[in-house]
Chain A
Amino acid sequence: AQTVTQSQPEMSVQEAETVTLSCTYDTSENNYYLFWYKQPPSRQMILVIRQEAYKQQNATENRFSVNFQKAAKSFSLKISDSQLGDTAMYFCAFYSGGSNYKLTFGKGTLLTVNP
């Protein structure tokens, strides 16, 4: 069974600085998909960024980028130029594709951006 581990329950960063959230996973699959979701306080969970395991290039979405290390089974999220609106719970998620529809989530990292 796949597992996803987020080792940092809480983190904080000053506005405009850069922060990296860690995620490791365990799988025997070769092709799979990884996601970072953001859940702001009392608001809807939204997708931040996604990565296909077969792609060597790290995904980037504006201020959000990932460092995908397939051999190490690591998928960290880097947030550059942190903004107050980035304060949220961040979840790393794994999806093996095919007929298994299940997303496996980590336990989340609560990120607080301080002014």
Chain B
Amino acid sequence: DVKVTQSSRYLVKRTGEKVFLECVQDMDHENMFWYRQDPGLGLRLIYFSYDVKMKEKGDIPEGYSVSREKKERFSLILESASTNQTSMYLCASSLLAGYSNQPQHFGDGTRLSIL
């Protein structure tokens, strides 16, 4: 089975801090994604990456950046955390889009609170 591991289940940080959320997948997937999940809003795509060092903005990239130095690892960075970034963050991975019906596999999520 595909395993997508997020480094923390719960994280509490302070306003203005630089925050790193880490995600690792073990199935050699090309695509990796970061979502934000908020009640009543569903999942919204922040960034995705289809290859090492490649990234594309999703629907809500403002205030976030990403890094993908190795194929298995995709990091989400909050450059200067703000309270409106308190949320559940989900990482996902999938095979190349050429395998077009390949589903995304999700991690357990990181519940981030910014105080």
Query: Is this pair of chains taken from one and the same complex?
Result: yes
Residues of A at the B interface (CB closer than 8 Å) are 9, 33, 35, 37, 43-47, 50, 52, 91, 95, 97-103, 105-108
Q: List 13 A-B contacts (CB under 8 A).
A: A33-B101, A44-B109, A45-B106, A95-B100, A97-B101, A98-B97, A99-B97, A100-B97, A101-B31, A101-B56, A101-B94, A101-B97, A108-B42
The 6 closest A-B pairs by CB, nearest first: A97-B100, A107-B42, A45-B106, A105-B43, A47-B103, A105-B42
Determine the residue in chain B with the shortest Cβ distance to A49: B103
Q: Is the CB of A43 within 8 A of B108?
A: yes
In angstroms, how far is the closest chain B Cβ from the Cβ of A23? 12
Given contacts A101-B48, A102-B45, contact A46 B106 (CB under 8 A): yes
In angstroms, how far is the closest chain A Cβ from the Cβ of B34? 12
B59-115: which residues lie under 8 A (CB-CB) from chain A?
A: 90, 94, 97, 100-101, 103-109
Count CB-based A-B contacts (< 8 Å): 53
Interface size on B (CB < 8 Å)?
24
Given contacts A44-B106, A106-B42, contact A52 B101 (CB under 8 A): yes
Known: A101-B94, A103-B43; 9 extra A-B contacts, CB below 8 A, are A44-B107, A44-B109, A47-B103, A47-B104, A47-B105, A50-B101, A52-B101, A98-B97, A101-B50
